[in-house]
Amino acid sequence: MSTFKAPKGTYDLIPPDSATYLAVREAIAAPLRNSGYGYIETPGFESVELFARGVGESTDIVTKEMYAFETKGGDRLALRPEGTASVLRAALEANLHKAGNLPVKLWYSGSYYRYERPQKGRYRHFSQVGAEAIGAEDPALDAELIILGDQAYRSLGLRNFRILLNSLGDKECRPVYRTALQDFLRGLSLDEDTLRRAEINPLRVLDDKRGDVQKQLVGAPLLRDYLCDACKAYHEEVRELITAAGVSFEDDPKLVRGLDYYTRTTFEFVHDGLGSQSAVGGGGRYDGLSEMIGGPALPSVGWALGVDRTVLALEAEGVSLELPASTSVFAVPLGDEARRMLFGVVTELRKVGVAADFSYGGKGLKGAMKNANRSGARYTVVAGERDLADGVVQLKDMESGEQVAVGVNEIVAELEARLS
């Protein structure tokens, strides 16, 4: 073992478990690809200012959790703690919104970094697959994203997740609510930090997990009762569209998200088998974000699903994904001449698209067959000196145990036919 370990709050993805992660990413991306979302990739770091303005100066993400640093050239950068601000920045920079086709629908998959206190399901390096639909105010778009998230989880075989839904209002009604909530919070016995938070970002106080705070929050004014008519109608339409799609959700009037850019629709996918880090995904509408980072008004909506927590949710439900073996054919040469010939067969197989692997390192038959077994290959091809003299290889079906001699010149076609 080396003296180095993965940094605190991180872990390595290694085979065979890494295959599950890839499959989860694929499963989340599939419904997006199928619904008009194009793939986007942005840098792993951005200007600190983008996140400060986008995610919010007073959020935990910006004040406590950002990996911010100054480069040798004097630029203030941060490892990205989330994807939405970056994706919107990139879309604006490339003028995608001017190409005329709104909404601009984008999906992404990558690593994100937050300096959080590590625990199960909460890491300093984690992975998300996300989607952003930029430049349209349409309840059907909000509904589409919620439905696609539901579809992604269901396609993986997850059942014990719930969708929490709320509306955070808009710039008309939220300020009125904010004042009412502040008045209420000022009357409670809260510690200094929390009182300060109530002045800067009162909605965040609703998200305080401490029991004594939660107890005092019973009876707090709810945004639901302050929504303006436009927000109410919009939210009602989103609810109806999701319901009509057969997706169940729970209204959660206390749902506040940890990022400041949200307006109107907000939602979270939570899984009941994960303990305190129960949010497997989340998102919502962010109609003001573009202007906050210097762009034109572009009402938008999106979500990000956490790959790490989705894998934990699968484990919690005891779901194991059916992953096809990555190798179909394993070749075992006995002797130098057989090695040259079989290496050629393996190369041919790979060329025609058959997943093939080879016994390297001059192992004996026993050791090589062990490798063949471990590879999960359906077939092994063995050849020794006598086979070469006869112009054949031994083709073994690892499932039935049946073995037949096949001509060297026919083996590639034979395997292709058997595996198709």
| Nearest CB to ligand HAM, comparing residues 145 and 198 | 145
| Nearest CB to ligand HAM, comparing residues 310 and 359 | 310
Question: Which tokens in the block code for residue 395?
Answer: 């083709």
Give the footprint of ligand HAM on this chain (CB under 6 A).
82-84, 114, 116, 122-123, 126, 128, 130, 132, 258-259, 279-284, 286, 302-304, 306, 308-309
Which among 254, 251, 278 is positioned nearest to 202, based on CA atoms?
A: 254
Residue 82, SS3 per DSSP: coil
For residue 394, CA distances in Å to 336, 381, 382 come to 17, 6, 5
**Sign, CA torsion 233/239/244/245:** positive
Nearest approach in angstroms of CB 209 to ligand HAM is: 15
Q: Residues 107, 129: contact at Cβ < 8 Å?
A: yes
Q: How many C-beta neighbours within 10 Å does residue 233 have?
A: 11
| Nearest CB to ligand HAM, comparing residues 9 and 384 | 9
| Nearest CB to ligand HAM, comparing residues 52 and 382 | 52
For 98-104, which contacts have Cβ atoms below 8 Å and span 24 or more sequence positions? 102/134, 102/135, 102/136, 103/133, 103/134, 103/135, 103/136, 103/138, 103/141, 103/300, 104/133, 104/134, 104/135
Nearest approach in angstroms of CB 96 to ligand HAM is: 16
Question: Which tokens in the block code for residue 318?
Answer: 């005891």
| Nearest CB to ligand HAM, comparing residues 22 and 244 | 22
Q: How many C-beta neighbours within 10 Å does residue 400 have?
A: 7
Which residue's CB atom is positioned nearest to ligand HAM? 306
| Nearest CB to ligand HAM, comparing residues 307 and 354 | 307
Nearest approach in angstroms of CB 390 to ligand HAM is: 58
Which among 92, 203, 158, 100 is positioned nearest to 310, based on CA atoms?
A: 158
Nearest approach in angstroms of CB 280 to ligand HAM is: 5
Nearest approach in angstroms of CB 371 to ligand HAM is: 35
Nearest approach in angstroms of CB 143 to ligand HAM is: 15
